[in-house]
Chain A
Amino acid sequence: MNEIQSNLDILVIGAGITGIESSLMLSKSDRKVHLIEKTSYTGGMAIKFEEVFANMECSTCMVAPLQQELLQNKNINLLTLAEVEDVEGCFGNFTVKIHKKARYVDMKNCIGCNACFEPCPVHLKNEFEECLSERKAIYTPFAGALPNAPMIDTKHCLRFNGKDCRACQEACMFEAIDFNQKDEHIQLTIGAIIVATGYTPFDCREIPQYGYGKINNVFTAFEFERLYASNGPTDGKILLKNGKIPKSAAIIHCVGRDNKGYCSSVCCMYSLKFNHYLTSKIPGIKISEFYTDLCIPGKSHQKFYEKIKKMGTMLIRASDIEITEQGEEIAIKYIDVGGKKNSITVDMVILTSAIVPKDDAEKLAKILGITIDEYGFFKEQNQNASSVVTSKPGVFIVGCSQGPKNIQESISQAGAAVGKILSTH
């Protein structure tokens, strides 16, 4: 019998909540974990939420202890601003090439005091805040980002565009700004890979009749999350574009469902959560929810729905929705269950977008030697067996990169992938 020495270290791709959970679990069994993250921060999408259904628990309070544990864990090597370039080998012996972009901030010296932001002369839209606020060319995307160290956006930084600006470096008391940092190409040898790259929300512009991008006060779900967030662009005030408080709002479910051909499983619940957001900040606000089928599976979700229903929300089962501007207000035309045309006007519209795969999922699948399914999510080997197993031994897929799901299900998959690795490798 041939036996080859297998490498026990693990590569986890994506430092959202699923990737963090996988890494922490593996580290507890004394595995060395390399956790690579494309952005400059950990926490993924979950840290964009102020609260999570159905217990309305503060999301940051839920995720931050895990992030902190991650940063202090000696078995976990966190590489931010990093992407996989190449994978070779097989289960037990993979060689992985990582491209780690320079942050231009020395993480050892930086204490995260943010003194470098203020003097930076470049003003840009903050993508983390769905472009509802500004950032500088040196920035952390939001207060409380972990690791708490800024990065330089070289595309816009004056110094990287031919000007001799040193404003941030001069402001730093810790000599943490290092313009000479270089991108690194790191080679790792590992035994198995967990892919936890998450999802993006459906682009609402693909449905022109919803008016997103054309009509003021038509917001996406993530824009609305940030409006409600206490560390967000309005410090948690739900405001219309003119600064006024809305008196009425409509929440449109299933945005992108028809385009994508699947139910994203979480939108009904998070729409109901938005009801909670609206009524807690704006007592007396009139809310209408436009839905097709309520999908609230599981033992705890209907209870939440019934609580929301008692708050006086209008639940309208509708089809053929069309949103137009009507003066300062927004008109929503729809066809009701009886087939009759109907309409209402509101101050604000929230579009609850479907969960779709990341733009680069296909590219990553090629690098990893796994396949994607007809929807663009990573494909499990066999729907009859474990959903975290791919056609390539040693490469496991977890969380929304495998398909739309809620946090609980993502965390279960993280545990399942770890179980698979620890029991077979």
Chain B
Amino acid sequence: MNRKIGVYICECGPNIAEKIDIDKVIEAVTSLNDIVTVERYKLLCSEAGKNYLTEQIKKHSLTHLVVAACSPRDHQLTFMEVCENAKINPYLFQLANIREQCAWVTDNKEEATKKAIRLTKAAIARVRCHSPLEKKEIESNPDILIIGGGIAGIEASLQLAHSNRKIYLVEKNSFLGGLIKNFEKKYPEMQPCSASILQKIETIKKISNIKIFTDSEVQEILGFFGNFEVKVKNKKEKDIESFNVGAVVFATGSSLFDINKNPQYGYGKFDNVLTSLEFEQMNLSKKIVLKNNKTPKSVAIIYCVGRTDKGYCSEICCMYSIKFVRYLKDNIPDIKIVNFYSDLCIPGKSHQKFYEQTQGENIDFIRAENIDITKKGEQLNISYDDETNRKKNCIVDMVILSPALEPSVDAAKLAEFTGVPLGDGDFFAEEHEKLNPVSTSTQGVFIAGCAQGPKSISDTIIQAEAVTGKILSSLIPGKKIEPEVKVSQISESFCIGCKTCLDICSYGAITFDEMNKISVVNEVICRGCGNCVAACPSGAITLKHFTFNQIYEELKEAVQ
């Protein structure tokens, strides 16, 4: 190909002009191969500057453009746009950063000029190896699969259905509603919880564009953002239904820590030791009684059960334990309640007030460690160490254990066949701890509620709505999806089929072609991180726009 490279050096007002001898840079690169023109200009990013570049590209029939100016972070896109408008492929452009990396880091004009020459030469060397890259556009399916029919799945379904999306809601149980169906009230406002979820279930059943699968399991999810193929199996009828969606939401919720792992609490051994969920159910049935059908006169609530085993604080146990105090006092006004806690975790604006208003006669809060429960006649004896490490004990009729939340068993299964990674506590890992809490490293697969980590009902609703926001703003009917252009490529002849790249790819973009025994990149899923390139032992993988040759030629000039 007959290359015609134009090189333009920005003065950036005095910023570059005063710190770098631009004429020397011009002189150093003018005679290089393929260079048609080298010019200086006062401010290339200005409107006038952009028009000037466009005219220059046309005037000299340039095929490649090099600009020596500021950081790519500032104006890479500006100049790529200029290329596009002037009808040259925007990837046949390279920006040399001679401001932040030369002019602004030294007062030594001679050294700055030397470095600016190197960087400009490096950019020229690199751009010679550039290939045009074309944007791709793929059709997308706007329908959505939601796995889990608890509050997160229900809220996401309702909101997405509102925007006329077709929803497939898959629930493994025979009923919707998840754990919170068992909760009479929700803290801190003590509004009805079970009743409100039942109402939502009625609403959801009436919406025609939500297709509900109960007693069902997702068996397979293949494909990529905008185009997933899903297989759902009905566990009772054994039949399998297949359909396509554009996005998937994991709303698989949580289950309770298995208390049998902590035998010191006597759960399963002694009567009247209940889990929080069992107590919620007992309260909902309006019959808070002991095994012998008598009303308890005293109850102990044990916080943080399983926290040490799990290695994290489940966030909601303090608050719902305090709610239990309310339940108990509402039903049995003169009952004595002892709360055994370690650290009270009641974050947020209205929770402390809820706690303060739950204190009163016959309600004790005791900071305790090394709790051990034994039977004492009809009653239960709780021995513990108090704050000052003194051994103490207390006798009650009933014990409620507040166990940690852990991911539901389905999470691990889903993670295995979809490749979406699990993170801390084996909850699904979010794409970014702060900035992308409801996205995963697999584009188009989202997480909401306790599938992402232990959290309250309100935070779960927020995440379900956030997923809606993510989906409605990225998967738009009729709008095509533009995947990354700078993706990996695997050479069929160099690949030795060692599968190293399959393990290294965080996005599940590489699959193995068993027939030909080679790895294959799905260009739609690949995000161009380059990890596979570095890991491949046979040098079979290249990353477009960061090829070995491009980097080598650039470095050769930059470091010689």
Interface residues of A (CB under 8 A from B): 21, 25-26, 28-30, 52, 54-55, 57, 62, 64, 66, 68, 72, 111, 113, 115, 173-174, 257, 261-265, 293-303, 306, 317, 337-338, 373, 375, 377, 382-388, 403-409, 411-420, 422-424
Contacts and interface: CB of A to CB of B under 8 A. Distances in A.
A139 B356 CA distance: 47
A261 B476 CA distance: 44
Given A300-B312, A383-B191, A419 B347 contact: no
Closest CB pairs A-B (n = 5): A415-B466, A265-B347, A419-B469, A419-B468, A297-B315
B454 A298 contact: yes
Contact of A419 (B159, B453, B455): B159
A298 B465 contact: no
A263 B437 CA distance: 23
A174 B46 CA distance: 11
B333 interface: no
A62 B470 contact: no
B425 interface: yes
A299 B423 contact: yes
B424 A300 contact: yes
A239 to B, nearest CB: 26
Contacts of A373: 349-350
Contacts of A297: 313-315, 345, 347, 454
25 contacts: A28-B473, A54-B433, A62-B434, A68-B73, A72-B77, A111-B13, A261-B353, A262-B348, A262-B353, A297-B347, A299-B312, A299-B425, A300-B424, A384-B196, A387-B461, A409-B462, A411-B437, A412-B463, A413-B462, A413-B466, A414-B469, A418-B466, A418-B469, A419-B469, A422-B468
Interface in B309-323: 311-315
B43 A415 contact: no
Contacts of A382: 191
A382 to B, nearest CB: 8
B20 interface: no
Contacts of B40: none
Given A293-B344, A388-B462, A420-B465, A262 B352 contact: yes
Given A265-B347, A404-B349, 18 more contacts: A28-B473, A29-B472, A29-B474, A111-B12, A263-B351, A263-B352, A294-B345, A296-B313, A297-B345, A301-B313, A302-B311, A303-B311, A338-B388, A383-B189, A384-B189, A408-B433, A417-B469, A422-B468
A39 B353 CA distance: 34
Contacts of A377: 349
Interface string B44-87: 01000000000000000000000000000100010000000000
B162 interface: yes
B474 to A, nearest CB: 6
B532 interface: no
A275 to B, nearest CB: 17
A386 B462 contact: yes
B186 interface: yes
B181 to A, nearest CB: 15
B467 interface: yes
Contacts of B313: 296-298, 301-302
Nearest to B452: A299
Nearest to B313: A297
Nearest to A266: B347
Given A299-B453, A303-B312, A25 B470 contact: yes
Given A111-B43, A303-B312, A262 B433 contact: no
B351 A415 contact: no
Contacts of B314: 297
A293 B463 contact: no
B343 to A, nearest CB: 4
B387 interface: yes
B438 interface: yes
A385 B313 CA distance: 25
B258 interface: no
B458 to A, nearest CB: 5
B347 A264 contact: yes
- Size category of the B interface is 35 or more
Interface of chain B, helix or strand or loop or mixed?
mixed
B14 interface: yes
A126 B433 CA distance: 32
Nearest to A257: B352
B188 interface: yes
B549 to A, nearest CB: 28
Given A298-B313, A298-B453, A262 B351 contact: yes
B346 interface: yes
B515 interface: no
Nearest to B316: A297
B327 interface: no
Interface in B32-47: 43, 45
Given A299-B453, A408-B437, A419 B467 contact: yes
A19 B398 CA distance: 49
Nearest to A402: B349
Contact of A26 (B162, B347, B473, B476): B473
Given A263-B351, A388-B462, A416-B466, A298 B312 contact: yes
B160 interface: yes
B163 interface: yes
B345 A295 contact: yes
A25 B469 contact: yes
B473 A422 contact: yes
B93 to A, nearest CB: 17
Given A111-B12, A301-B313, A383-B458, A418 B453 contact: no
A412 B462 contact: yes
Contact of A261 (B12, B13, B352): B352
B50 to A, nearest CB: 13
B435 interface: yes
Residue picked from B12, B424, B468, B473, most chain A C-beta under 10 Å: B473
Interface in B91-135: none
Contacts of B423: 299-300
Contact of A115 (B14, B434, B436, B458): B14
A386 B424 contact: no
Given A68-B73, A261-B352, A337-B388, A295 B346 contact: yes
Contacts of A337: 367, 387-388
B15 interface: yes
B353 A423 contact: no
A407 B434 contact: yes
Interface in B501-529: none
A295 B77 contact: no
A80 B469 CA distance: 26
Contact of B347 (A29, A68, A263): A263
A265 B319 CA distance: 14
A83 to B, nearest CB: 25
Contacts of B378: none
A262 B462 contact: no
B160 A387 contact: no
B484 interface: no
Contacts of B343: 293-295
A414 B459 CA distance: 12
A317 B163 CA distance: 51
B345 A416 contact: no
B427 interface: yes
A301 B312 contact: yes
A262 B468 CA distance: 31
Contact of A299 (B13, B351, B424, B472): B424
A404 B465 contact: no
Contact of B188 (A68, A383, A405): A383
B318 to A, nearest CB: 9
A30 B434 CA distance: 25
A259 B191 CA distance: 28
B468 A296 contact: no
